[in-house]
Amino acid sequence: MTKDFSLSRKIRRGAFSFLLGTVLFISVPISASADTQDNSETASTASASDISISDTSSVSTYKLADIDIQVSVSNDLVCFTQNVTSNNSYLELIGANDVEELRALMKVNNIYLEIIPRENVTYEILLSGKDAPSGVNALNELSEEDIQANFEAYVANSDNRENGSVTENVTNSFIERINGVVYYVTDITSVANNDVVIYLRKYYTIMQGKAISFSLQTNQSSLTDNMKIELENIVKTAEYKDIKKSIFDNPIYSEISATIITLLLPIGILALITFIIIKSTKRKTKKIS
């Protein structure tokens, strides 16, 4: 069953307007037959305005218990989880005025991580996950023949799609193995209302009974080489393992904690200043006496 992630919001920075949305998260049933698709990968030429690759020497790790995956993301990038709080200073970058709406959109569309640059937001990366089709535990467990057959079925199901005013076409597809994990990789051109064009690259796999998708989307003139590297760098950090859900891993706790910290921080600073003034006054009094 196909589910669309379409956020009806725009990022506006000066004259820049970026429509977020039109990411398809597709969970395709295992099929033994499909039309053959051209799987050759064609490399795009990076333009002079290509993005800078983020520094991977300093990262933050995200453990997502609902889909049993752990990923690390460069601290050069901004990440939003389903527990994002209203005092997050980066919400303005994605035009999110209502944090409750953002959390609801992420939940209903199975988005567990949204990643954007701190500046010059020309792309976003989404990590999605849901239960895999019945009987499928991992693509790695399939034979080479079945991996290929199901890849062809997946690509055929992703191509020439129309959903309301959005049309999507697969322009490139191939199978890639990263750290022993099989990924179906597709490049997609999405056109909304015959006007807004979004370019996407998606890595799709099934591990531990979960269908996992890493998607990068941009409204620039193409998917640049550096955008592809940025996405692949995140995919390379993925660890698929059982992750226990923490009792603190919920939006209510995160919101309360953030509010308490916001309230206590200025009080703590004021108390420190008061303490320093009192100590300084006492010292002066002693010197005078």
- Assign 205 a pLDDT band (cuts: 50, 70, 90): very high
Question: What pLDDT does residue 265 have?
Answer: 52
Q: What is the DSSP letter of 144?
A: H
pTM of the model: 0.72
- Assign 10 a pLDDT band (cuts: 50, 70, 90): very low
pLDDT digits (tens, 9 = 90+) for 246-269: 665 655 544 444 445 445 556 667
Mean pLDDT, rounded, for 82-108: 85
Evaluate whether the domain defined by 2-248 bears CATH number 3.40.50.2300: no
Amino acid at residue number 90? Y
pLDDT over 60 at 156, yes or no: yes
Question: What pLDDT does residue 89 have?
Answer: 79
Question: Which residues does 246 contact at the CB level (< 8 Å), separation at least 6?
Answer: 65
pLDDT over 80 at 139, yes or no: yes
- For 191, list phi and psi in degrees, rounded to 5: -120, 125
pLDDT over 90 at 16, yes or no: no
d(CA 233, CA 259): 34
Question: What pLDDT does residue 250 have?
Answer: 55
Opening angle at CA 48, ends 119 and 186, nearest 5:
80
Question: Residue 172 in 3-state DSSP?
Answer: strand
